[in-house]
Amino acid sequence: MRIAEWWPHLDADAQAWPIEHNGEAVTPDVMSKIVAVAGSVWEVGESGPDGVFLTDEAVDWIETTANDESD
């Protein structure tokens, strides 16, 4: 499922976190909310010692959405 499909189903707190921390490792709480609405997240780019990160494309989409820009 693409980010544009699951994003509207996140609660306000789960949407606010990646906007405020765009590009940072996603917290386990936010990730569990994403997985709950998306089923799985293909946008997850890397999981490593610093946590799980969304892909550059997802980060860009969130930034565009947060700035109310069109694609």
Residues 10, 12: Cα–Cα separation, whole Å: 7
Residues 36, 20: Cα–Cα separation, whole Å: 21
Domain ranges across the chain: 3-66
Taking only the tens place, the pLDDT of each residue in 32-59 is 898 898 887 666 777 888 888 988 888 9
Residue 48, H or E segment:
strand 44-48
Q: Work out the average pLDDT over 27-35.
A: 91
Is the confidence at residue 20, as pLDDT, over 90?
Answer: yes
Would you say 46 and 52 are in contact if contact means Cβ atoms under 8 Å apart? yes
Cβ-based burial of 62 (10 A; exposed 0-12, middle 13-18, buried ≥19): buried
- pLDDT at 42 (0 to 100): 67
Q: What is the pTM of this model?
A: 0.82
